[in-house]
Structure 1
Amino acid sequence: MDKNVGGIDRTGRIVIGLVLTIAGIAALTGYWAIGAVTGVIALVVAAVLLVTGTTQKCPINEAVGVDTTPEDTE
């Protein structure tokens, strides 16, 4: 699978993934009263976003034909 996540898409995935990680941990440790199930869901979504953001590969983007990597201008 070629890279298909880049630019603002990649940055957004990483930033939102980090925020969801913090929120999920806060929920699971009791610092934020949104519930343990919501905390686990936040951590799972965060993991997906962080992996797709750092590897720059997203199977959903590939399935629908979306590519947000910059075009080569050479």
Structure 2
Amino acid sequence: MAELKKLTKNVSGYVAAAVARQIRHQLLSEELRHYEEEHGAVQPGPVAMLTSDVDDMTKLCGDRVRLIAI
């Protein structure tokens, strides 16, 4: 019976952690929705990267990033 109680406590901990993650996710989603309603959706701005290897970074980033050789 003691072993069964240990298992139950462990399962309860996992369930509580999963529920906490779900609640946190819902709260963050709601907060983002309120922010977007107030201020408009967040738009990513232009991105620039300084690099010593423009060729390799071009392969990785494509045209999404402006690469500047240093």
Task: Give the TM-score taking structure 2 as reference length.
Answer: 0.33
Q: Which has the higher strand share?
A: 2
Rg larger for? 2
Q: TM-score, normalised by structure 1?
A: 0.32
